[in-house]
Structure formats: C-alpha cells, structure tokens
Amino acid sequence: MVGLVVRTPDFLREGWELGLRLGSPLPPPRHLLVLGMGGSGIGGDLLRGLLYDRVGFPVTVVKDYSLPAWVGPQDAVFACSYSGNTEETLSAYEAAGRAGARCVAVTSGGQLADRARADGIPWVRIPPGLPPRAALGYLLGPMLGALHRWGWMEGLEEELGEAEAVLRSLSARWGPEVPTLDNPAKQLARALVGRLPVVYAASRLSEAAALRWKTQLNENSKVYATWNVFPELNHNETVGWALAGQPEGLLEVVVLRDPEDPPRLVRRVEITRQVALGATGFHEVWAHGRGRLTRVLSLVLFGDLVSVYLAYLNEVDPTPVAAIDELKRRLET
Ligand code: F6R
C-alpha cells in the first residue's frame, strides 16, 4: 500500500493523459454529476471542491442508487467505479442514461465497462489490480484531463504539472525510507496510536481532504475516525466537546490547514481550540504548493501516508478490507 501511495503523482499524470483522449472541446453542461462510492467517489468530492468557485456550473457528487429529479439531457455525468461492479454506481449510471444525460465512465472493467461499450458512450479504461482507494490518481486524473480537453476549466494543465512535481518531492520527504525523526507523517501516526482521530478541515479547500483522511484511517489503519469542516462545526460539534473531551487522551484532533485559509476561519480554529478542545491532543497539518490542486492533494498524500504508518504501528495489513468484501458478498445473495 505504501508503495502505491507514493506513486500517486504517476497515477495522476497517467490518468490525466487518459482523460485528454476524451474527444474535442464541448459546450459546458448545465450541471456536472460525479457518481461513485468510497474510493471511487472521493475523486468527485475533490473535483467539486476544486471547481466550486471557478466554473459556471454546479458539481454534484452522487453516492447513491438514484439521481436527483432535475437531471436531464443538458447535464454531464462521470460514472466512476474502479471495479466497475459497484451496484449503487451501476444503478445511478442507468438512471443517468434514462434521463438522457451525457455520460462518461471511468473504470478498470467489470459491468460498467460492458455497459459503456453496449451504450456506445466514451469511457476511460484505467489499469486493473489496485485497491480502489490507492487508484485515486487514476480516478481524479481522467476527469481533470477531460475538463481541460473540453475547455470547461482554465489553468488545469499548469496546476497538474505543479501537483505532479510537488507530490513527487513530498513523497520522497515523507516516504517510508525517511526515519521517524525526520518524517512528520510517521510522527503524527505515532501520536494517533490508541486514539480516535478527529479530522477537521479549516476551510472548504480541504473539506474533501478531511473526508479522505477519515476514510483512509478507516480502511488502511482499521480505526474509527470522524471528520468535519469549519465553520459549520462551530454551530454544533463544538458544543459536543463539553463531554467528548473526557476522558482525556481518547480523542486526537488533526486540523488540515492551508496558507490561504480565510482570516475569519483561522480565527475560528484558534478560538475553538481555546473554548472547546481543552487539553485534547491537537495537530495542524499544512498544505504545500501554490495551486489549489497541489495544496489539496498534498494534504491527501500526507493523510494517506499517516494512515499506512498507523496501520504498521497497529500491526494490521493496510490493504485488505474484509468487512467491505463480506458486505458486498452477502448483498449478492
Ligand atoms: C476499496 C475502497 C472502497 C471501494 C468501494 C467502491 O479500496 O476504497 O471504498 O472504492 O467499495 O468500489 P469501486 O471503487 O470498485 O466502485
């Protein structure tokens, strides 16, 4: 798993190249939807965060069997399933076809590839044989490449180039060969042993990264974890700390910070720490790079590595996800 995590920049570049092959410029949609569950859905969450205030159409991520009633022929859909056999995504894909939306599939094969072929829609074949969550670059990259190719968003090529270069150097700095003394990802993993991680995004940019941290801690480290985002958490969860902080030493807070977090949100993080978090273990993890893609993916990379190092410290294999496999098996009968 750790070998795959440090290859994220390669997968992102390869995924981007695959996405570039998706035809020629197209008029932007009324609405863009990304269908995908778990490791195949997080690319949609990241895309939504990146596009939020940069394109003229909304992005909706669907993690369900059905679609909103408003979906129609002017909308575009990315149906993402690494295996191609995830029933929620297949069902939502069928619904998108019935609604007349323009669909593109991103998959390594399975039923989604079969249906894409039968329906004659464009699809991106990504390499098989990886745990879906380790294929993030292959799931996000094609969508970014396609958006660039279709002319739906400016500046993506430069952002991709920066992300690839910065992630490569960060992988070397935080990678498995770097000893704990010089490796902040290993140090944070140490601090999380025996604790329940609470991952907070300081602002919207890092919201999808915080969700990714939580799900990677669940699947790789096999621990329970929660996540939330400022400022919303100040309107409910902050009160829950009155009792949640007891007994001390149970929870460990990690705040994902970005140098461009708006000042009001920075203030909120400081005050929240003072009024609610008390003596709870508190860590800040900073984004690296200039462009938004790089900044958010640097947070994702750090979290992915922490989750694998924590698995090692917990003496569990990060790769198998027995409970997910068993659940899918039982649902088949
Ligand atoms: C496994 C993982 C899961 C899967 C999810 C959907 O590594 O991360 O969350 O991604 O069960 O399956 P796929 O990705 O095949 O559509």
pLDDT digits (tens, 9 = 90+) for 171-228: 999 999 999 999 999 999 999 999 999 999 999 999 999 999 999 999 999 999 999 9
Show the domain range for 62. 2-154
Mean pLDDT of 250-254: 95
Residues in the chain, how many?
333
Do 117 and 222 fall within a single domain? no
Active site (annotated) includes residue 164: no
> Is position 299 within any domain?
yes
H-type alpha helices, 193-250: 207-219, 237-244
Do 174 and 105 fall within a single domain? no
Q: What tens digit of pLDDT does each residue of 16-47 get?
A: 999 999 988 899 999 999 999 999 999 999 99
- What was the pLDDT predicted at 25? 87
CB count in 10 Å sphere of residue 102: 15
Choice from 5, 37, 89 to test ligand 1 binding pocket (greatest atom count within 8 A of CB): 37
> Is position 322 within any domain?
no
Q: What tens digit of pLDDT does each residue of 129-153 get?
A: 999 999 999 999 999 999 999 999 9
Residue 247, preceding peptide bond in cis (omega within 30° of 0): yes
Reported as half-sphere exposure (CB side, CA atoms, 13 A), residue 18 has a value of 24
Do 57 and 121 fall within a single domain? yes
C-beta 37 within 6 A of ligand 1: yes
Do 47 and 144 fall within a single domain? yes
Do 129 and 56 fall within a single domain? yes
Choice from 86, 107, 222, 327 to test ligand 1 binding pocket (greatest atom count within 8 A of CB): 86
Q: Which of 106, 125, 154 is at the close of a domain? A: 154
- 83 alpha carbon to ligand 1 midpoint, in Å? 7
For the chain, the domain total comes to: 2
- 198 alpha carbon to ligand 1 midpoint, in Å? 23
- What was the pLDDT predicted at 333? 84
Do 215 and 99 fall within a single domain? no
pLDDT band at 229 (very low <50, low <70, confident <90, very high): very high
On average, the pLDDT of the chain sits at 97
- What was the pLDDT predicted at 242? 87
Q: Whose CA is nearest to atom 10 of ligand 1?
A: 39
* 244 pLDDT more than 80: no
- 261 alpha carbon to ligand 1 midpoint, in Å? 31
Nearest-angstrom CA–CA distance, 181 and 325: 37
Do 6 and 150 fall within a single domain? yes
Do 227 and 270 fall within a single domain? yes
Q: What tens digit of pLDDT does each residue of 264-279 get?
A: 999 999 999 999 998 8
Ligand 1 atom nearest 37 alpha carbon: 6
Active-site choice (219, 222, 237, 288): 219
Q: What is the pTM of this model?
A: 0.98
Nearest-angstrom CA–CA distance, 60 and 36: 11
For residues 171 and 8, the answer to whether their CB atoms sit within 8 Å is yes
- 325 alpha carbon to ligand 1 midpoint, in Å? 10
For residues 113 and 85, the answer to whether their CB atoms sit within 8 Å is no
> Is position 321 within any domain?
no
- Indicate the DSSP class of residue 22: S
Q: Whose CA is nearest to atom 16 of ligand 1?
A: 81
* 106 pLDDT more than 80: yes
Tokens of 175: 């990678």
Do 100 and 35 fall within a single domain? yes
Tokens of 167: 């992630």
Instruction: Return the CATH number at 283.
Output: 3.40.50.10490
> Is position 333 within any domain?
no
For residues 241 and 276, the answer to whether their CB atoms sit within 8 Å is yes
